[in-house]
Amino acid sequence: MIQQGLVSVNGYTVRSVDHHVGKGSSVSIAQEQIDARLIRHIMLNKPIGVLTAAVDRKQKTVLDLLPKPFSTCGCMPVGRLDKDTEGLLILTTDGELAHRLLSPKRTVWKCYLAVVDGPLSSEDQEAFESGIPLSDMVALPARLEIIESSPVCSSAHVWVHEGKFHQVRRMFSARGRTVTSLKRLSVGPLKLDPDLKPGDYRELTEQELRLLYASTGIEESHDE
């Protein structure tokens, strides 16, 4: 395309493949401007049935829901949501941000909306706050806010700041309840955009990024 004169940078046709493209430059191919940013931060409303992974030969992954520019620049999911869990998933090219969001030492709270079979009680709330023993660990203290409780079905908000495999489901299971629906609503100060339907995504705003970086103790995002 360069040899054919189809590539231009800042309005000037590029003649050499060695041409340096500076930060903030405008790049066009066949007079159509492209987004050449290498730093990306995405909010995805992960749908049920999609794997939180980069690549899988048999099943659809969260990166399959995004255009190629996001995967080719190294934008990766922060942590995992189970295949049967929906809701807020952050994808970023910033490895340090991802690490801090996942580290239990940073106490970045994640909020989930859970629906379970059977009733929930103040005893369940106390158990979550104390830390629930599981088969291979003791889950760190969490918060359970009961929205509605009945003998057949209950709903609640759950806040945790660690992300072990199937943790929220296992915590309820230890209390004799089966989770029938689970949706992540927030990560730290970042809340799921209510306008995003399952499978939809958008890039984070500057304000959201500032709050997210501040919550992890990173002063600057190093974003363009």
User: Helices 95-102 and 206-215 sit at what angle, rounded to 10 degrees?
Assistant: 60
212: nearest Cα among 140, 87, 106: 106
Question: Does an H or E element contain 208, and which?
Answer: helix 206-215
45: left (phi over 0), alpha (psi -120 to 50) or beta: beta
DSSP assignment of 35-95: ---S--EEEEEEPTT-BSSS--SSS-BGGGGS-HHHHHTT-EESS---TT-EEEEEEES-H
Respond yes or no: is residue 82 known to be catalytic: yes
Q: Tokens at residue 140, please?
A: 């760190």
Q: Tokens at residue 195, please?
A: 């306008």
158: nearest Cα among 145, 140, 139: 145
Q: Among the options 64, 82, 117, 223, which is catalytic?
A: 82
The alpha carbon of residue 37 and the mean position of all alpha carbons in its chain are separated, in whole angstroms, by 20
N- to C-terminal Cα separation, the chain: 27
Q: Active-site positions?
A: 82
